């Protein structure tokens, strides 16, 4: 997809190595195929608003950052709820489509589905072009 994936936590690179070897390699053959980076002290987490100073850890978050380093999407979840990788992939595809075509992708959009062309002709008429149930197709 032409994206770079990084995982960052306050754990040390030693903890990441053990986690990769003992846990992740059992879920994904060879372990996760992207770097696990250490945010000792939470400086990166602070910048992204996910560092919890009281516990000294970064809360789980994911960010889609475009090539110009603009945060296009973010999601922050506590550890009790897992993230949805399919939704992350869908959002990356949507942002890539928007950049490539200038069209906008409505809720639930997937490649090949209807897009909208922004402009004065669409103002106040989105309801004619797109229905909420299309988000669940």
* pLDDT at residue 131 in the model: 93
* pLDDT at residue 79 in the model: 85
Cβ pair 113, 137 in contact under 8 A: yes
Cβ pair 61, 7 in contact under 8 A: no
Neighbours of 91 (CB within 10 A): 18
94 exposed, middle or buried (CB, 10 Å; 0-12, 13-18, 19+)? buried
pTM, to two decimals:
0.85
pLDDT in tens, 85-136: 999 999 999 999 999 999 999 999 999 999 999 999 999 999 999 999 999 9
* pLDDT at residue 103 in the model: 96
pLDDT for 8 beyond 90: yes
* pLDDT at residue 137 in the model: 84
pLDDT in tens, 30-80: 999 999 999 999 999 999 999 999 999 999 999 999 999 999 999 999 889
* pLDDT at residue 86 in the model: 94
H helices then E strands: how many in the chain?
A: 5, 6
Domains plus CATH for the chain? 1-83 (3.40.30.10), 84-137 (no CATH)
């Amino acid at each position: 997809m032409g994206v770079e994936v990084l995982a960052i936590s306050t754990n040390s690179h030693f903890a990441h190595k053990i986690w990769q070897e003992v846990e992740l390699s059992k879920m994904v053959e060879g372990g996760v195929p992207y770097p696990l980076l250490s945010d000792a002290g939470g400086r990166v987490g602070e910048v992204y608003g996910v560092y919890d100073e009281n516990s000294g850890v970064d809360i789980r978050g994911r960010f889609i950052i475009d090539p110009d380093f603009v945060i296009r999407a973010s999601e922050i979840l506590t550890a009790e709820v897992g993230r949805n990788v399919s939704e992350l992939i869908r959002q990356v595809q949507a942002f890539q489509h928007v950049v490539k075509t200038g069209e906008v992708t409505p809720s639930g959009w997937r490649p090949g589905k209807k897009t909208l062309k922004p402009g004065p002709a669409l103002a106040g008429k989105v309801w004619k072009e797109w229905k909420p149930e299309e988000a669940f197709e």
